[in-house]
Structure 1
Amino acid sequence: MACNSVPIDTSHLPYCFTRFPVRIHKDKEEIHRFTLELIDATKKEDSKAHKHSLYKYAFGPDMNIYSLSWCEAELDKMKLLIDFIELTWAHDDVAEEEPLENAVAESERLCRAMYEEYDDEPVADNGFGLRIRRFRDIRDRMKAIDAVGWLEIRDATEEWLHIDTKLKDFESLEEYLNIRKVHVGNKITTSFIRWTMGIRLSEAELAFIEPYTDCIGVWLGLMNDYMSWKRERTQPTDRVVNSIHLVMNRYNLPEEAAVDMIRGVLVRQEGKVLEMSEDLNGRTGLSTGMRIYIQNLEYYAGGLFYWHFLAPRYTKPQSFDPERAD
């Protein structure tokens, strides 16, 4: 399989930086150009959504989350991935500001857009209706390339779209993280590794690797919670999905102590992922596809950490004032 990525030198970063390898797609400029053009084409200029989307990519091609997370993806498939994920992120951003009942209903309608049998349902002439129509179009284009891989993405996305129904006042961090690994979208994003690289794993292989991808999902949820806390702590929503918020409330901890606690849990979870990765890489009898997938799960984790660590979205959290872009 051709190599589509190059390594990133992280030696200048603080010693606490992740131990995962970090690489970036060799076509990072084209990927970044496509991302910005898609945002401009699908979001009203100078709107809150438009400003926030552009802010995620303010550091240019070297900090494009797609080039970092799916660094070995085939370029044409990468563009469909970007279209799909930008749409689901847009849905998630809107849903976070909706009452839970409305968010669940809209997620159910978006979910149905992944099934042709619902294509006769009327679509409103508004922003949500536009997302429905786009989702149907993306579905058809993805299926035309790889129908089997699309089913894995569809099933993972359906679980994610319904995850808000499982949010509650969790009794423990462990209970929360069991939901958070799905809520953070890990199953969707890892299925895209396989889809964009044409990796086909059997049902037995997918079951075999699931504990490892779940371990990464828990780590990703913790990492996102920790990195985004300064941004999310003032976000207007009736449901804060963040482990720092949980331990503050559950254990009556001051904010600083809760942040330190989650940082420690995050470091230990990264250690678990790395131990599992070492064990898997040392095994014999794994298929070529499985070995490539394991390697790219490491690149995916490293790329996401690198992006969260340096992105202005988290290093300089933007305001939720719709009149401001920073």
Structure 2
Amino acid sequence: MSKAIDTTLAPQYFQKFPVHIHKDEPVVKEGSSAAVKMFERLVPEKDTRSHAVGPYGDAYAICYPEGDTEKTKLAGEIIEALWMYDDIIEALPHDEAALEHATVKQMLAGNKDGKAPGRKTLMTSIFRDARDRMMALDPKGSPWMIGVLRQYLTEYDGNDNTYNDIEEYATFRTLNVGFRIMSGFMQWTTDIYLNEEETQITKDFYMASGRVMALTNDYWSWEMEKRESIDRSAGIRNAIPVLMKQFSLNEKDAKIFAKGLTVDAEEYMWKLGLDLKKTGSETIKKYVDAMILLMGGSGFWSATCPRYNTAQK
């Protein structure tokens, strides 16, 4: 049973999603910590700032508070490794980044011995055993989740476009922000799998949830991204500069605009979720509840974490 976090202790958290933390948070934390240590060993010259550290606990323990402990621990390790891996290859030209993603996709497909197309074999080797470890914990659900991972890697760097329209950008960012990964592991850790009909019924709710995560992440990560400017030649991938350009806004007003878009997206997601809970199957009801906790965990961590809110050394 997870424990509720009092979000009033962090007044900057402006969303209304409930936030819980996993009962075995210290165990879950071992997963993300292992990924950080692995990258520090394999790529010591790179900055391996944690994507999980926060004042209220491990990010994955907050995003997946009702997940199976061992699966949540492994999910945190894999996601943390993906985020740090993306931090490193963000500086690469698009073609080179695509090759690195192809390397990881081969490993997730079970091809450990073939020649990897990417060059950074040490960096990508962290994913070598991910498939086997997932299958050992959940032989039935893991093939689906591995497919989600491989699809994400295909979509993530599918283009190097710039965007001048917030709606076009938000559509792109819903895929690029990693929502497919985060929501997929939410289902994997809780054993919530939708059939084809349920997937179709929840499609609008799924896309609305992705929009919330995309806009929320952009809002809170902007100060870090603006300061570091680490993205590729396409420029910083964030809603705020898109809004500045599209509507000729200064930075402060664009942030307020982005915050309003986030609140509007959340309201729409809540409405769709409530409607599904009135008419949907028991599986759909569990899915909606777990997604709401994921949105709360993701947003609350972003609003409070040192990665986005203070200079982290």
- Per the TM alignment, residue 249 of structure 1 is displaced from its structure 2 partner at its CA by 2.6
Aligned to 1:225: 218
Q: 2:201 matched to which residue of 1?
A: 208
**What does residue 130 of structure 2 align with?**
138
Residue 77 of structure 1 deviates from its aligned partner by 0.7
Of the candidates 140, 147, 151, which is equivalent to residue 159 of structure 1?
151
- Local SS of the residue matching 1:253: coil
Separation in 1 of the partners of 2:129 and 2:4? Answer: 34
- Paired residues of 1:39 and 1:50 also in contact (CA < 8 A): no
2:295 counterpart letter in structure 1: A
TM-score (norm 2): 0.90
Residue pair 2:32, 2:52 contacting (<8 A) in 1 also: no
- In the TM superposition, residue 107 of structure 1 has moved relative to its aligned partner by 1.2
Contact 2:28 2:70 (8 Å CA) reproduced = no
Shift of 1:90: 1.9
Gaps of 5+ in 2: none
- Which residue pairs with 2:7 in the alignment? 10
Query: Which amino acid in structure 1 is aligned with residue 187 of structure 2?
Result: R
Map 1:121-270 to 2 at 5 A.
121-122=114-115, 128-162=120-154, 163-234=156-227, 235-237=229-231, 238=233, 239-270=235-266
Shift of 1:236: 2.6
- Identity across the alignment (%): 27
Letter paired with 1:78: T
Cα deviation 1:172-202 (Å, max 9, x = unaligned): 2111111111111111111111111122321
- Partners of 1:132 and 1:258 in 2: CA distance: 37
Q: CA deviation at 1:51?
A: 4.8
2-structure distance, mates of 1:123, 1:7:
44
Q: Map of 1:43-192 to 2, 5 A cutoff?
A: 43-44=40-41, 47=44, 49=46, 51-53=48-50, 56-57=52-53, 59=55, 62-116=56-110, 118-122=111-115, 128-162=120-154, 163-192=156-185
Over 3 Å counting, the alpha-carbon distance change for 1:56 and 1:299 in structure 2 is closer
Q: Matched residue of 1:113: which SS?
A: helix
- After TM superposition, the score normalised by the length of structure 1 is 0.86
Paired residue for 1:305, among 292, 299, 306?
Answer: 299
Amino acid at match of 1:306: F
Alpha-carbon distance change, 170 to 34 in structure 1, aligned in 2, over 3 angstroms = closer
Question: Which segments of 5 or more consecutive residues in structure 1 lack a partner in the other structure?
Answer: 319-324
SS in 2 for 1:63: coil
SS in 1 for 2:14: coil
Equivalents in 1 of 2:19, 2:309: separation in Å? 19
Task: Give the root-mean-square deviation of aligned CA atoms.
Answer: 2.4
Amino acid at match of 2:99: A
Contact 1:44–1:50 (8 Å) recurs in 2:
no
2:222 alignment partner, SS class: helix
